[in-house]
Structure 1
Amino acid sequence: MPVVLLRGINVGGHRKVPMAELRAGLAEVGFGSVRTYIQSGNVVVTGGPNDDRDIERLMSTLLAERFDLDDVSVMSMTSERLKAARGASKREFPDEGTDPKDHARRTHIVFLDAVPAPDRRTALDPDDFSPDRFVLDLHDDVAELHVSYASGAGTSRLTLDRIERALGVRGTGRNLNTVTRLLEM
């Protein structure tokens, strides 16, 4: 069952995509069961194309044609990748006696659309973002950046834009609460 993450929609009243309209549009273009979680672009689908890149192209086309948004980053992945990334994040940043919900809110996974080039993998200096911590997790053809935000993502200088510029790839982030909820769906 593919999980699709959309970056930067319904943020601050901009780039609005009503989830009911998105679900209807995805059903019209051939997806079976379409479920969304919160308003920030988390979609779980069945049916439709089997290839992640085909799913991304189909959703990008829908967003452009139906919502006039032609620059939304769309990332499709298997639930297996999501589950593996959650496990890796919990190993990198275990809940060490803190409030579990607060820990899961402050621990994020930035899913990258490609493995950063070797010369870009060290472009983020951990000392520049302390007390926030992060670990780049590389696989054969995908990568994630696991981040522990000391005071939450909203106050950190380690922003998604900065991560993308440094690593030279696109990405979208979700906290562990959201990742867990998507896996439950």
Structure 2
Amino acid sequence: MTTHLALLRGINVSGHNMIKMEVLKSALEAVGFQNVQTYIQSGNVFVDTEKENAAAVGFKIKQEIFKAFGHEVPVVVIGKTDLEACFKNNPFLKEANLDIKKLYVAFISTTLRSDSLNDLKMSQVKPDEASIDSSRIYIKYDVGAGKTRFDQKYIEKKLSVTATIRNWNTVTQLLKMYEER
């Protein structure tokens, strides 16, 4: 069995794409996923399956959400090593007096090119900062996530990818949950 973490984008936000986590859990168990565990209402779902391919798992989850709830929900599936890499490679964690509440990670559907940071045109979203590592973008917001243009829609438009963003506290909790499984 392989454990995957599915990050669902855009559910239970401002009354849109409403899905109760218990109902989602039941729907995923009904199609063969095991040990389904959710974290908060924003769409973080652990599943165990014989399938090792993350993209195939994400596609199956996306299909089931559409079938069961009628919502077209982008899904990014990551593994434990990806979360561990967040802690190892996040350059902002080395800063003194860092406000963790302004730290986020955008998980991307594909591996990014090393020059993808240029494509983001960060000068348009200054003073927010970003750093790219494989299929993650580390973000440090100047004011906060609610007051920036540098959001998932901006990232998706500039890089032609699927992205979903989690705050640092959520990333920390998800790694802890992975380790407890």
The two structures have a TM-score, normalised by structure 2, of: 0.89
Matching residue within 177, 180, 183 for 2:169:
177
Which stretch of the first structure deviates more once superposed, 161-170 or 42-51? Answer: 42-51
> Of 161, 167, 184, which aligns to 2:153?
161
Q: Which amino acid aligns with 1:79?
A: K
Q: Residue 152 of structure 1 corresponds to which residue in structure 2? A: 144
In the TM superposition, residue 48 of structure 1 has moved relative to its aligned partner by 4.6
Aligned to 2:66: 64
Which residue matches 2:133? 137
**Identity within the alignment, %:** 31
1:94 Cα offset (Å) = 3.0
In the superposition, relative to structure 1, how do residues 184 and 120 fare at CA in structure 2: closer, same or farther (>3 Å)?
closer
Tell me by how many angstroms 1:122 deviates: 1.2
Question: Aligned residue for 2:14?
Answer: 12
- Distance in 2 (CA, whole Å) between partners of 1:126 and 1:172 is 18
Mind listing any 5+ residue stretches in structure 1 that lack a counterpart? Answer: none
Distance in 2 of aligned mates of 1:181 and 1:16: 23
**TM-score, with structure 1 as normaliser:** 0.87
List aligned pairs for 1:19-168, cutoff 5 A.
19-69=21-71, 71-89=72-90, 91-98=91-98, 103-116=99-112, 121-138=117-134, 143-168=135-160
Q: Secondary structure at the match of 2:94?
A: coil
2:161 alignment partner, SS class? coil
User: Matched residues in 2 for 1:121 and 1:132: separation?
Assistant: 13
**Amino acid of the residue matched to residue 182 of structure 1?**
L
- Which amino acid in the other structure matches residue 5 of structure 1? L
- Show structure 2 runs of 5+ residues with no match: none
C-alpha spacing 1:95/1:120, structure 2 compared with 1 (3 Å): closer
The 2-side partners of 1:40 and 1:48 are apart by 25
**What one-letter code is carried by the residue in structure 2 that aligns with 1:94?**
K
Matched-pair contact (CA < 8 Å) for 2:117–2:131: no
> What secondary structure is seen at the aligned counterpart in 2 of 1:12?
coil
- SS in structure 2 of the partner of residue 17 of structure 1: coil
